[in-house]
Amino acid sequence: MGLPMALRLLEAGYDIDGFDVVDASKDAFVKAGGKWLDGFENVDVDVVFAMLPGGAEMKRFYVDEQKLFSKLKPNTLIVDCSTADPYDALGLYEQAKNQGLRFLSAPVSGGVVGASGGTLTFMVGGDAEDFSTALPLLELMGKKIFHAGGAGAGQSVKICNNMLLAVQMIGTCEAFALGDALGLDARVLSEIMSASSGSNWTLQVYNPYPGLMDTAPASRDYEGGFSVRLMLKDLSLAMGSMERVEAKMSLGSKAFEIYHKHFDNGFADKDFSHILTSLKR
């Protein structure tokens, strides 16, 4: 997701220094006019955007291995768009502050499609002044930008949202599976549900039934979207938060169980809407 986000900033005329572990991303970034970083020793930027897989990678990037915090000039604003445990984000915020830096946790919703189209939703946690500084840049990459509250609040909102998304996707897929068993035309069923009380984001934007929506991963053999691996990671974060605050979420826990089984069955790298295939079987 970092590549299309960076490309939108380049298109707006900003000078961008970039890095990615994926060679194809490097080629596309440089072709679009970005400057490639071979390391982080001489980074001289005003704002850092990072899109990392999770909390462990964030700690390695900022503190343990690349040690980016120690290499940035004072007052640099870091906008981290990864999804992690809220307490990990809070810890990094405090470490950044102690080193004279500014830090926002700004996880996103919308997937690769949203990143490419500039329609992401940003859920930002951190100081209000830093949010105001980042807002013009976020508006180039997203359609809806929310200041969720103080440090870690963006992560808290994100794991609540993705837990709901997982439950929503499973429910939508179960409806299609039942419709198939009843002999219904999936396109007709989708059209009617989208106009009825069952309407939801997965039906209208990310339809899990193959062939109904060209832009959805389901129409590309469930490739190139938000993987089962990542959904399971986010559900794991939700489970951890539940335990920490002693909450009980029956549907969230069941969604974690269902996606864990799908992961174990060998579908870790398929889009999370691929859960439809196991429900149909």
**Burial degree of 54 (CB within 10 A; 0-12, 13-18, 19+):** middle
* Residue 226 or 23, more confident: 226
Q: Catalytic annotation on 280? A: no
Phi/psi of residue 85, nearest 5 degrees? -65, 135
- Residue 142 is which amino acid? G
Which residue is associated with the tokens 């590549």? 3
If you write DSSP's letter for every residue of 209-263 in order, what string do you get?
A: STTS-TTSGGGGTT-SS-BHHHHHHHHHHHHHHHHHHT---HHHHHHHHHHHHHI
Whether the pLDDT of residue 225 is over 90: the answer is no
Buried (b) or exposed (e) across 135-171, using 16+ Cβ within 10 A?
A: eebbeebbeebbbbeebbbbbbbbbebbbbbbbbbbe
If you write DSSP's letter for every residue of 260-280 in order, what string do you get?
A: HHHIIIIITTSBGGGHHHHHH
**Residue 112: predicted pLDDT:** 83
Query: Which residue in the list 59, 97, 144, 158 is annotated as catalytic?
Result: 158
What mean pLDDT comes out for the span 48-62? 91
**Residue 197: predicted pLDDT:** 97
Whether the pLDDT of residue 94 is over 80: the answer is yes
Model confidence pLDDT, tens digit, residues 188-206: 999 999 999 999 999 999 9
Looking only at the bridges linking them, the beta strands covering 47-50 and 108-109 are unpaired
**Residue 218: predicted pLDDT:** 97
**Residue 65: predicted pLDDT:** 86
